[in-house]
Each structure stands twice: as C-alpha cells, then as structure tokens.
Structure 1
Amino acid sequence: MSLRFNYRSANEPAFQAMIKLETFVSKSGLDKKLYELIKIRASQINGCAYCLDMHTKDLRAMGETEQRINLIGVWHEAHDLFTEEEKAVLELTEAVTQISKAGVPKELYEKVRSYFDEKQYVNIVMAINVINNWNRIAISTGMYPECF
C-alpha cells in the first residue's frame, strides 16, 4: 500500500474544517474512553487500518485492557466486559455508520436516550460522524498505519 497524497497539505482548509469538528467533539464532555470505543468500532466497520492503529494505541495509553480492546468488534458476545451504556453507544455507532441498512431504529434510540440526554445524544452522533469522515479521508487517500 502506498499513500496517494498528503490530504493535509493538499487542502489545508479542508483539514482545518475536520480539526474543528474533532475539537468540538473532544470538548463536548463525551467521555474520552467512550469516544475511543466509538472511533475503534466505526473504523473496524469501515476497514480503516490507519484509524484502527491510531485509536487502539490511544485507548491502550488511557489504561484500557487488551481484552476489551481486542473484543470491541464482538461486543455483543463479550457479555460483562462492556457496560450497558457502552453497549448502547457501540450499537448506535454500528447503526449510524451503516445508516443505509436500517437507519436508527426507535428501540435503539430509546435505549441510548435512557443513558444520555438530547444534547449528549447529539454529541455522540457527532462523534460517530467525525470518525466516519476521518475513515473516509484516510481510506480514499491511501493512508495506512504510520504513513506520516
């Protein structure tokens, strides 16, 4: 695999727009570990090696266990390793990342809302959208782990 081009230098205003979105989510009050779980799950679905490498390292640096990191992709079967709140967010991440399949079913919306208020729900959806954008940029420009 080879990097097609450095999108950051090719279009600095576009890169800065993404940084603003990332900054918004980072300062939204969303739990940092939960945000990393979102980033990893969306990146797994999208097949983004660059982002998976980055965010598993970030979550590991936050003190997360190898077991939980290794089992994010199969959280449905991991029973007690993830909290009910985390499971709801991971399920929402899957639904929003694959929005054309079934949208966000009412039952899922209600499950997530049982843990988060409207503002927090929007912050979570923004977090999911931001990592999906990063994944699409990385994949379409040929980014791979440690290419920069």
Structure 2
Amino acid sequence: MVEPLRMNIAKLAPEGYQHLLNLEQAIASKLDRKLIHLIKLRASQINGCAYCIAMHTREALHDGDSAERLLLLDAWQESSQFSEKERAALQWVEEITLIADGHAHKEAFEALKPHFSEEEIAWLTLASSLINAWNRISIASRAQLGASHQAPEQKVAEPA
C-alpha cells in the first residue's frame, strides 16, 4: 500500500531544496547526461526509490539511452552493454551508495583514474552523493511519481 505524501520538503525547506537543485545544475554542466542518468538510476535501484527509478528511467530514455541498457543496469557487471568508463563510474556510485559496507574501496577509486580527470572524479562523487540525498528525501517523504501529491520535479534544464 502506498502511503500519502508525508511532507513536501520543497515547500517546508525551500532554501535547502533550492541548493540541491543548484548542485544538480552544476553537475549537469560538468558530466555527460547519459552517464548522469546511469549514476542516478543505479543508486536509486540500490536504495529502492521507486520515484527516482521511474523519473530517471524516463529521462534516460528521453535522452536517447536504450531500454535494453536500462533493463540490464541492475546487472551491469555481467552485461556487455556498458563501456569501461561507465563500469568504473557505476562501481564508484555503488561504493558511495553502500559506503557503510566498504568505505569507498581504494580499488574502485583507482579504477576511475584511466577514464576521468581528478575534477571529473570530484563531480562523479558529488553526483553520486546527491542522488543518494534525493533518494532519501523521496523515500522519507513517500513521493510518488504521477500521484496528486507528487514531489516537485527535479529535472534540470539543459546546460548552456
């Protein structure tokens, strides 16, 4: 059974919510959109955030990713659909999402270096951390995509 919306963070804490949206815009200007979608979707799968899974799947499809890749994302380690660069980023988002389990293993961090600059790794870390924050806000609020009590849209405008 779906619970009603518990709280609307955007209305109750608009300044804090706006800062999260501003960070979304900054991330969108620094990283590839398809990679951002994979990061957001993978963390949302791990966290079990239905709202974010639905939203980021729709956005990824809209931006040209394939349904097959998105369906295989949960098994990315066994799929040939993902590049080595994407694999490194997906491992990193898993490390951050499950930080209590391994404290971001050195091997996962080192695997990023052949594919990303130090600055890009910092942005990947911010993107991974932010989606985990969004997941927690959405789950705690009981946000439901398409429901009358839907949380405010988190989609970010195209970077200039």
Residue 91 (structure 1) aligns with: 91
Q: Aligned with 2:5: secondary structure? A: coil
Instruction: Say whether 1:143 aligns with 2:159.
Output: no
Provide Cα deviations, 1:112-141, integer angstroms capped at 9, x if missing partner: 111111101001000001101100100111
Residue 7 (structure 1) aligns with: 9
Residue 131 (structure 1) aligns with: 131
Provide Cα deviations, 1:22-81, integer angstroms capped at 9, x if missing partner: 1111122x0000000000000001110000000000000011111101011110111x21
One-letter identity of the residue aligned with 1:25: I
One-letter identity of the residue aligned with 1:20: N
TM-score, normalised relative to structure 2: 0.88
Residue 73 (structure 2) aligns with: 72
Q: Aligned with 1:14: secondary structure? A: helix
Q: 1:5 Cα shift?
A: 2.2
Q: Aligned with 2:146: secondary structure? A: coil
Q: Take 1:67 and 1:59, find their aligned partners in 2: how far apart are those partners?
A: 12
Residue 45 (structure 1) aligns with: 46
Identity of aligned residues (%): 36
Q: Take 1:107 and 1:9, find their aligned partners in 2: how far apart are those partners?
A: 41
Checking the alignment, whether the CA contact within 8 Å between 1:97 and 1:128 is kept in structure 2 is yes
Q: C-alpha root-mean-square deviation of aligned residues, in Å?
A: 1.0
TM-score, normalised relative to structure 1: 0.95
Checking the alignment, whether the CA contact within 8 Å between 1:50 and 1:146 is kept in structure 2 is no
Q: Take 1:23 and 1:63, find their aligned partners in 2: how far apart are those partners?
A: 20
One-letter identity of the residue aligned with 1:90: L
Q: Take 1:18 and 1:11, find their aligned partners in 2: how far apart are those partners?
A: 11
Unaligned runs of 5+ in 2: 151-160
